[in-house]
């Protein structure tokens, strides 16, 4: 991707370039994230989808600089509001987390301390980043945020412990905590996966509303194509540690430019339901300690050709669209592929 964005009137909140993260495990080097580049603009929601193990969470952990051992970011650049995060001291990074950059994870219990009243925890999230450190000021903000995420009786509820809330309520509290200091970017990794469907829809609606009100950017990692259709402006599709396609949401659903996306969408019954899980496609994911040479999707791709033995770049294949596929890069579409498949079927 060139550094000249097509939206050069506006600076991205987040600019990731060439991000490469590996785990130096006893059994081998896991190539978890390879040469990942993307931008996120103010007020925009970028979805990241892809099958299990494709590197979505490690991408999020890398941006937050929370990659667990034996993992390490080995190359790349991550700029938040123009600041290179990979150059920051641990202490500076800690200050950015929770202030300009916040995180909502799948399990609200890991984000909340079970032994402390939630009001206290929310106050701390504010105080640790405020200039004055005032308790009074923090409590005002805590109540404001609890009310914003739909928790009535904020005064009273602030004195409760995490276990006194339902799963959906706890996730609302984690979202309140993430919004506490009005970050410019929030990263949400499967924020609704642990919740039942009705509650999922409510939490998604809430996030949508808060994002709009605060013109916040969001990176949303999810297995749920219904959530993607509902919330995202653009989507990056990951496969085996790489972005294989990136497109505005409508265009992705209408005209996928990578065979992996094509295969996913093809087996999808409907994208309107909030609980439409990412389908699994045939074949097994590659061994990430020894990623395939050439196109990483080659072994599972119905359109693979000799040229696919070479590794394709993520290239521009249309207005604001990128795909890592030789076939679409030369201008062919999968309408042709559909016919090819049918022909193959007839022959066998």
* Residues in contact with Mg ion by the rule CB under 5 A: 57
Can you say whether the dihedral through the CA atoms of 119, 178, 222, 207 is positive or negative? positive
d(CA 161, CA 151): 14
Smaller CB distance to ligand ATP: residue 56 or 143? 56
Per partner kind, with CB cut-offs from 5 to 8 A, the member of ligand ATP, Mg ion, none near residue 53 is ligand ATP
Q: Binding to ligand ATP by residue 200, rule CB under 6 A? A: no
Give φ, ψ of 218 to 5 degrees. Answer: -135, 135
What DSSP state is assigned to residue 50? -
Smaller CB distance to ligand ATP: residue 58 or 207? 58
Q: State whether residue 72 is helix, strand or coil.
A: strand
Among residues 32, 46, 49, 308, the one that binds ligand ATP under rule CB under 6 A = 32
d(CA 262, CA 333): 10
Q: Binding to ligand ATP by residue 66, rule CB under 6 A? A: no
Among residues 15, 56, 170, 298, the one that binds ligand ATP under rule CB under 6 A = 56
Per partner kind, with CB cut-offs from 5 to 8 A, the member of Mg ion, ligand ATP, none near residue 25 is ligand ATP
Q: Which two tokens stand for residue 75?
A: 């190359």
Q: Which two tokens stand for residue 176?
A: 């309140």
Among residues 37, 45, 47, 55, the one that binds ligand ATP under rule CB under 6 A = 55
Smaller CB distance to Mg ion: residue 96 or 187? 187
**Which range in 7-15, 53-61, 81-89, 251-259 contacts ligand ATP by CB under 6 A?**
53-61
Smaller CB distance to ligand ATP: residue 21 or 121? 21
Smaller CB distance to ligand ATP: residue 54 or 230? 54
Per partner kind, with CB cut-offs from 5 to 8 A, the member of ligand ATP, Mg ion, none near residue 220 is none
219: closest CA among 55, 54, 101, 114? Answer: 101
Among residues 42, 43, 53, 337, the one that binds ligand ATP under rule CB under 6 A = 53
- What are residue 322's DSSP bridge partners? 246, 316
Burial class (CB in 10 A: 0-12, 13-18, 19+), 205: middle
**Which range in 5-13, 50-58, 266-274, 312-320 contacts ligand ATP by CB under 6 A?**
50-58
Region at 28 (left for phi over 0; alpha for psi -120 to 50; beta for the rest): left
Contact set for ligand ATP, span 287-346 (CB under 6 A): 288
Task: State the nearest-atom distance from the C-beta of 54 to ligand ATP, in Å.
Answer: 4
**Which range in 55-63, 80-88, 147-155, 210-218 contacts ligand ATP by CB under 6 A?**
55-63
Which segments of the chain does DSSP mark as H helices, in order? 56-64, 90-96, 108-111, 118-127, 135-148, 154-157, 167-179, 197-214, 225-231, 249-254, 259-266, 326-329, 334-347
Fill in the per-residue mask, 67 to 106: x = in contact with ligand ATP (CB under 6 A), - = not in contact: -x--x-----------------------------------
Region at 170 (left for phi over 0; alpha for psi -120 to 50; beta for the rest): alpha
Task: State the nearest-atom distance from the C-beta of 142 to ligand ATP, in Å.
Answer: 31
The DSSP line for 83-141 is: EEGGGS-HHHHHHHBTTTEEEE-S-HHHHS-TTS-HHHHHHHHHHTTSSS--HHHHHHH
What DSSP state is assigned to residue 278? P
Q: Binding to ligand ATP by residue 57, rule CB under 6 A? A: yes
Burial class (CB in 10 A: 0-12, 13-18, 19+), 302: middle
Per partner kind, with CB cut-offs from 5 to 8 A, the member of Mg ion, ligand ATP, none near residue 54 is ligand ATP
Number of residues this chain uses to bind ligand ATP (CB under 6 A): 15
In the complex, the residues that contact ligand ATP under the rule CB under 6 A are 23, 25, 30, 32, 50, 52-58, 68, 71, 288
């Amino acid at each position: 991707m060139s550094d000249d964005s097509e939206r050069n009137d506006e600076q991205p909140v987040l600019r990731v370039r060439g991000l490469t993260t590996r785990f130096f495990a006893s059994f081998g080097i896991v190539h978890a994230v390879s040469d990942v580049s993307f931008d996120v603009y103010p007020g925009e929601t970028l979805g990241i989808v892809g099958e299990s193990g494709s590197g979505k969470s490690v991408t999020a952990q890398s941006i937050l600089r929370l990659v667990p051992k034996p993992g390490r970011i080995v190359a790349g650049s991550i700029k938040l509001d123009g600041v290179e995060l990979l150059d920051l001291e641990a202490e500076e990074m800690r200050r950015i987390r929770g202030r300009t950059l916040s995180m909502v994870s799948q399990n609200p219990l890991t984000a909340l301390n079970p032994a402390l009243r939630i009001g206290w925890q929310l106050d701390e999230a504010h105080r640790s980043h405020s200039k004055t450190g005032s308790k009074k000021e923090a409590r005002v903000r805590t109540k404001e945020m609890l009310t914003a995420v739909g928790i009535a009786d904020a005064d009273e509820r602030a004195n409760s412990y995490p276990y006194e809330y339902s799963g959906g309520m706890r996730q609302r509290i984690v979202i309140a905590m993430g919004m506490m200091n009005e970050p410019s970017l929030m990263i949400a990794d499967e924020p609704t996966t642990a919740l039942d469907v009705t509650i999922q829809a409510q939490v998604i609606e809430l996030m949508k509303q808060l994002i709009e009100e605060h013109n916040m950017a969001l990176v949303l990692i999810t297995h749920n194509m219904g959530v993607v259709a509902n919330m995202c402006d653009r989507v990056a599709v990951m496969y085996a540690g790489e972005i294989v396609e990136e497109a505005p949401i409508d265009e992705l659903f209408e005209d996928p430019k990578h065979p992996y996306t094509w295969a996913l969408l093809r087996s999808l019954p409907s994208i309107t339901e909030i609980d439409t899980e990412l389908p699994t496609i045939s074949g097994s994911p590659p061994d990430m300690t020894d990623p395939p040479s050439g196109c990483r999707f080659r072994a599972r791709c119905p359109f693979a050709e000799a040229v696919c033995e070479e590794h394709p770049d993520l290239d521009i294949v249309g207005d604001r669209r990128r795909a890592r596929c030789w076939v679409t890069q030369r201008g062919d579409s999968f309408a042709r592929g559909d016919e090819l498949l049918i022909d193959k079927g007839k022959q066998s």
